[in-house]
């Protein structure tokens, strides 16, 4: 099976600035893939190259086997992109915007799918509303509809929930999960790391134009994140032998950072030896935000 997205040694330079420094990436069909990184890491540049909005200095990219430069028509048909910016035409209604977008791909009788998109994105009551009259969250829904109007097998979501209320965010992810279950490949960039952790089966992290991590979400959580132990001590005060583990607090309430769960037993033994009792203890689960910070600071 051909990969949904293939990126081979892609370099992008803007004068003396290197935005992408030899990025290689393979995303399989049907994956829910996360592309994470701080601002300026090169995520949007890579997406722009995939979408044909930018040309790589060197290297190659393909979507569903179509080279984005040589076979650009096939690559465009196979890809739907929800941009980070709110870009819209103020002269059309929501339904007209989706119908015009269908026309770009030569789809004449697409009303049934447009109706389904309007329903799934909760835009039925806004279908005949002019785009400039919509709120920011509503405009973002329309952008998602435009990206999906030609039923692309690969969908790229660049910060799709930025500035979106909680209710829309939940309904949006329910819809995107359904598309993924139906076989669509989803590529997500987001600064809401809890979303990436909950949704993505595999994650790549970019830093300064290079991929610094690429693994399944569960493996990243296991490899790069230890655990945190929150303790309430009596009498207050952490023994000197455990001070190197202290992440926060230090009196009655202490938070310790451990490399693994195996260290919990040693902490308790050291406390007992020092005559310090434990009134409360909570072992916090590792999360993707902690992993992300560790990798970016490595």
Q: What is the pLDDT of residues 190-243, one digit of tens each?
A: 988 999 999 999 999 999 999 999 999 988 987 766 778 999 999 998 999 999
- 62 neighbors 10 (Cβ within 8 angstroms): no
In whole angstroms, give the CA distance from residue 107 to residue 85: 26
- 268 neighbors 209 (Cβ within 8 angstroms): no
Q: Is 174 exposed, middle or buried (0-12, 13-18, 19+ CB in 10 A)?
A: exposed
For the record, the structure tokens of 206 come out as: 């970019």
Confidence of residue 139 (pLDDT cuts 50, 70, 90): confident
Please give the pLDDT value at position 84.
81
Confidence of residue 261 (pLDDT cuts 50, 70, 90): confident
The reply to whether 126 and 55 lie within a common domain is yes
* Count of beta carbons in the 10 Å neighbourhood of residue 118: 20
Domain that holds residue 289: 226-297
- Closest CA relative to residue 239, chosen from 259, 227, 256, 226: 256
- pLDDT value at 39 more than 70: yes
Mean pLDDT of 165-181: 85
Please give the pLDDT value at position 81.
93
Mean pLDDT of 178-191: 93
For the record, the structure tokens of 246 come out as: 């202290």
* Count of beta carbons in the 10 Å neighbourhood of residue 186: 22
Please give the pLDDT value at position 27.
97
Kindly report which listed range (5-9, 132-136, 241-245, 277-281) carries the lowest average pLDDT score.
132-136
Q: Find the CATH number of the domain harbouring 108.
A: 3.40.50.300
The reply to whether 143 and 259 lie within a common domain is no
The reply to whether 172 and 201 lie within a common domain is yes
In whole angstroms, give the CA distance from residue 109 to residue 103: 10
Please give the pLDDT value at position 161.
77
For the record, the structure tokens of 239 come out as: 């023994």
In whole angstroms, give the CA distance from residue 156 to residue 185: 8
The reply to whether 251 and 273 lie within a common domain is yes
Last residue of a domain, one of 222, 246, 267: 222
The highest-confidence range among 29-38, 118-127, 171-180, by mean pLDDT, is: 29-38
The reply to whether 67 and 197 lie within a common domain is yes
In whole angstroms, give the CA distance from residue 230 to residue 249: 10
Please give the pLDDT value at position 257.
83
- Closest CA relative to residue 43, chosen from 126, 138, 156, 144: 156
Please give the pLDDT value at position 215.
94
Q: Which residue has the higher pLDDT, 149 or 251?
A: 149
Q: Which residue has the higher pLDDT, 162 or 2?
A: 2
Mean pLDDT of 134-139: 84
Please give the pLDDT value at position 207.
95
The reply to whether 153 and 60 lie within a common domain is yes
The reply to whether 290 and 172 lie within a common domain is no
- Dihedral pair phi/psi, residue 144, rounded to 5°: -65, -45
Please give the pLDDT value at position 225.
61
- 19 neighbors 57 (Cβ within 8 angstroms): no
- 261 neighbors 232 (Cβ within 8 angstroms): no
- pLDDT value at 146 more than 80: yes
The reply to whether 255 and 163 lie within a common domain is no
The reply to whether 191 and 291 lie within a common domain is no
Last residue of a domain, one of 176, 206, 222: 222
Mean pLDDT of 66-78: 95
Mean of pLDDT over the chain: 90
Please give the pLDDT value at position 250.
81
The reply to whether 260 and 291 lie within a common domain is yes
The highest-confidence range among 28-42, 171-185, 215-229, by mean pLDDT, is: 28-42
Number of domains in the chain: 2
Q: Percent of the chain scored above 70 by pLDDT?
A: 99
The reply to whether 161 and 139 lie within a common domain is yes
In which residue are the tokens 């930025």 written? 162
Compute, in degrees rounded to 10, the torsion defined by CA atoms 64, 68, 70, 76.
Answer: 80
The highest-confidence range among 61-75, 86-100, 163-177, 222-236, by mean pLDDT, is: 61-75
Mean pLDDT of 105-125: 89
Contacts of 277 (CB under 8 A, 6+ apart): 233, 234, 235, 271
The reply to whether 180 and 231 lie within a common domain is no
Last residue of a domain, one of 158, 189, 222: 222
Q: Find the CATH number of the domain harbouring 278.
A: 3.30.70
- pLDDT value at 263 more than 90: no
In whole angstroms, give the CA distance from residue 34 to residue 217: 9
- pLDDT value at 48 more than 80: yes
Please give the pLDDT value at position 248.
81
- Dihedral pair phi/psi, residue 237, rounded to 5°: 115, 125
């Amino acid at each position: 099976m051909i990969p949904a997205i293939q990126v081979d040694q892609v370099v992008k330079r803007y004068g003396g600035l290197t935005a992408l420094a030899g990025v290689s990436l393979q995303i399989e069909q049907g994956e829910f893939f996360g592309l994470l990184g701080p601002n300026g890491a090169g995520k949007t540049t890579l997406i722009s190259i995939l979408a044909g909005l930018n040309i790589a200095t060197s290297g190659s990219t393909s979507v569903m086997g179509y080279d984005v430069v040589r076979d650009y028509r096939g690559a465009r048909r196979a890809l739907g992109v929800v941009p980070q910016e709110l870009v819209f035409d103020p002269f059309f209604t929501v339904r007209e915007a989706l119908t015009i977008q269908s026309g770009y791909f030569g789809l004449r009788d697409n009303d049934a799918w447009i109706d389904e998109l309007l329903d799934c994105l909760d835009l039925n009551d806004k279908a005949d509303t002019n785009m400039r009259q919509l709120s920011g969250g509503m405009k973002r829904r329309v952008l998602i509809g435009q990206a999906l109007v030609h039923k692309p097998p690969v969908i790229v979501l660049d910060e799709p929930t930025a500035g979106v209320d909680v209710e829309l965010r939940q309904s949006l992810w329910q819809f995107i999960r359904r598309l993924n279950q139906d076989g669509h490949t989803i590529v997500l960039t987001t600064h809401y790391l809890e979303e990436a952790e909950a949704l993505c089966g595999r994650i790549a992290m970019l830093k300064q134009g290079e991929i610094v991590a690429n693994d399944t979400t569960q493996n990243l959580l296991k490899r790069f994140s230890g655990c945190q132990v929150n303790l309430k001590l009596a009498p207050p005060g952490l023994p000197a032998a455990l001070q190197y583990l202290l992440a926060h607090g230090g009196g009655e309430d202490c938070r310790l950072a451990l490399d693994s769960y195996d260290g919990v037993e040693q902490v308790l033994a050291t406390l007992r030896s020092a005559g310090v009792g434990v009134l409360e203890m909570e072992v916090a689960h590792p999360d993707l935000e902690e992993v992300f910070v560790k990798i970016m600071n490595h």
